[in-house]
Amino acid sequence: MATDESTPTPEQTPEASQPTRRKVLGRIGAGLAVALTPTALAQKAATAPNTGVRPPAQSVKRNPVTQYVKPPFQKQTQPWPGLASKMIPPPDHGETSYQGTGRLVGRKALITGGDSGIGRAVAIAFAREGADVAIGYLPAEESDAREVIALIRAAGRKAVALPGDIRSEAFCVQMVAQAVRELGGLDILVSNAARQHQVGSILDLTTEEFDWTMKTNLYAMFWIVKAAMPHFQPGASVIVTASEQAYDPSPNLLDYAQTKAAQVAFTKLLSKQVIHRGIRVNAVAPGPIWTPLQPSGGQDPAKLPQFGANTPIMRPGQPAELAAAYVTLASQESSYATGQVYGVNGGNALP
């Protein structure tokens, strides 16, 4: 491209070859102003240069009440298990905002349900903190999972895709073995994948649906943690995604809430079993979070437009808002924390 001779070129102006903080933040701010789909966010993050400047979402003081979109939301439904790419508005998993500081350099992590929602946000954060990451997910979620794999690799870390159904014990054992083999070990396990399907009455909750929830949320957690345990060395960390439903269950989540209460008990008990080996076990108990679980059967479609409005913050949380909790629990900074349940729930006074 031709230049005006009166205008200094980058070669003539040394400072132009290195972006200033104002220029970098200006470019980032302009990019964040554009409404992006999850696919576009993944593509943008995968090709964006590492400026070394912390993006605004983590460095700028903001009002948490207005930081993200508030209800009412558009009415929407999806078939199970749902895709983040089809949600309106798209969830924020930290694709363009999360900036790591090296807190998990050299760690090797397996995250179930890593294609979307909380698992996707954790996968992005772990990779940008220096960890190699394997994600488990259902084959129907392949399109979302491919975006996450691209984001992990864009962070310069190894990514392993592990599609399959965790209701099968054989697959759970195989998934852990493959993660260990391809990552070269395992230091962090995030048991996050879950089934949530709202049913208004126990009379309408079928044995098949009840069994589906129990197998996904409890049996799979047990199988995966058990398979991973022999591979852990001192300093390893297990993090379970529980829920505020363990403490204040909604009337239409009879089976789901039971599994979340059991996960809290599992976390507290297992932590006592394995701390002598230097392994910590903790849980995160989210409140209402804007993920594909909600429009794919997790919420009553008629009530979805007001999802999260009854929290003190008056909106649902975004997956990106939970990532830091998982990073902290996985890192050595939390060396004195085990058997704990960390609430991220928009101000509800539990756990």
* Residues with a known catalytic role: 256
Contacts of 182 (CB under 8 A, 6+ apart): 134, 158, 160
3-state SS string for 300-326: CCCCHHHCCCCCCCCCCECHHHCHHHH
Q: What number of helices (H) and strands (E) belong to the chain? A: 10, 7
Query: What sections of the chain are H helices per DSSP?
Result: 21-32, 38-47, 56-59, 117-128, 142-154, 169-183, 207-214, 220-228, 254-274, 323-330
User: Looking at the chain, how many residues does it have?
Assistant: 351
Alpha carbon distance 198, 294 (integer Å):
9
DSSP 147: H
Q: Are 211 and 157 in contact (CB under 8 A)?
A: no
